[in-house]
Amino acid sequence: MALRDRLGRARAAVSGAVAGALGRGIDDAAWEAVEEALLRADLGVATTGRVLGALRRKVEAREVDGSAGLVAALREEMAGHLAGAERAMRMGAVAPSIWLVVGVNGAGKTTTIGKLAAQQVAAGRSVVLAAGDTFRAAAGEQLAEWARRTGADLVRGADGGDPSAVVFDAVQRAAARGADLVIADTAGRLQSNANLMEELRKVRRVAGKGPGEVAEVLLVIDATTGQNGLVQAREFAEAAGVTGVALTKLDGSAKGGIAFAIESELGIPIKVVGTGEQVDDLVAFDPAEFVAALFDE
């Protein structure tokens, strides 16, 4: 289902799920319904508490107009947390720009790279994909298929080889060819694995050696992820200097509220959203749309 369709349903559902309980005015049940909705969207206990705290202060200051006003105030409060962030995928000052894509296993890194490559090729840029996942079975073949689909170039290394060498190689070749953009895939890794995080540090270091400029380090977060997502964001940011989040699989029944927690707690902006497995299923992040969809039932 397209995000837009879901949005239509979402608007209707807000008055159902949340406002329904609010009909009697802002009593305990109403607050509980709001809390429940936020928790079910995977915002987490702490972030939910913060949002509700701010909302309560508004209610106490009589800035909220009855129960119907509470829903609007909630949306406004949440949108406020997401206001003002720079969400465009950045190009560097010197070519080639390098986008490094990182995240835990199976989050959607390789697929997101395919979609990003398609968009950039369509925008007239020459794109090189770096097959920095030399570990997972057939990860190189998977990226090769995306290169074929999108018309991007591909640089691969030996299976089991050093990922930073592949990325280095890709950057060199992109520079030699005068390419605009290198998008580097990396193997999925759990942030608790110290060796793999060290490997990622090295990839980031080598990618930044020049020529070119690392313009984005994109952390891919699966919308079904629960509270571990915050830990992921913290650890990947520490190891690789994450500049933005790609929130994938938002076409499912999961709300992706953990991305709200990541942006509002850690200040890492959500940049793009994955809405399917096909090449066109990637859109720019729209805070208002996202907040409304959080309450979709």
Ligand X SMILES: Nc1nc2c(ncn2[C@@H]2O[C@H](COP(=O)(O)OP(=O)(O)OP(=O)(O)O)[C@@H](O)[C@H]2O)c(=O)[nH]1
> Which residues of the chain form contacts with other proteins (CB under 8 A)?
1, 36, 39-42, 44-45, 104-108, 114, 135-139, 141-142, 144-146, 149, 188, 190-193, 222-229, 231, 249, 251-255, 257-258, 277
Instruction: Return the one option of Mg ion, other proteins, ligand X, none that residue 191 interacts with (CB less than 5 to 8 A, by type).
Output: other proteins
Which of left, alpha, beta for 109 (phi over 0: left; psi -120 to 50: alpha)? alpha
User: Which residues face 217 on adjacent strands?
Assistant: 100
Give the CA-trace dihedral at 28, 34, 36, 39, to 10 degrees.
-140
Which of left, alpha, beta for 164 (phi over 0: left; psi -120 to 50: alpha)? alpha
Nearer to ligand X, 15 or 224 (CB): 224
Residue 57 CA to its chain's centroid (Å): 30
Per CB under 6 A, 156 contacts ligand X: no
User: Which residues face 132 on adjacent strands?
Assistant: 186
Please state the closest distance from residue 174 (CB atom) to ligand X, in A: 21
Distance CA 269, CA 275 (A): 18
Instruction: Return the one option of other proteins, ligand X, Mg ion, none that residue 64 interacts with (CB less than 5 to 8 A, by type).
Output: none
Stretch that binds ligand X, among 8-16, 56-64, 106-114, 199-207 (CB under 6 A): 106-114
Q: By the 8 A CB rule, do 227 and 258 touch?
A: yes
Q: Which two tokens stand for residue 59?
A: 């209610």
Please state the closest distance from residue 31 (CB atom) to other proteins, in A: 14
Distances (CA, A) of 51 to 1, 241, 272, 293: 29, 27, 23, 17
Per CB under 6 A, 188 contacts ligand X: yes
* x-or-dash string of contact with ligand X, 233-262, rule CB under 6 A: ---------------xx-x-----------
Per CB under 5 A, 110 contacts Mg ion: yes
Distance CA 272, CA 27 (A): 37
Interacting residue with ligand X among 277, 280, 288, 297 (CB under 6 A): 277
Please state the closest distance from residue 144 (CB atom) to other proteins, in A: 8
Q: Which two tokens stand for residue 262?
A: 């990541």
Per CB under 6 A, 275 contacts ligand X: yes
- Write out the residues near ligand X by the rule CB under 6 A: 103, 105-111, 133, 136, 139, 188, 190, 220, 248-249, 251, 274-277, 281
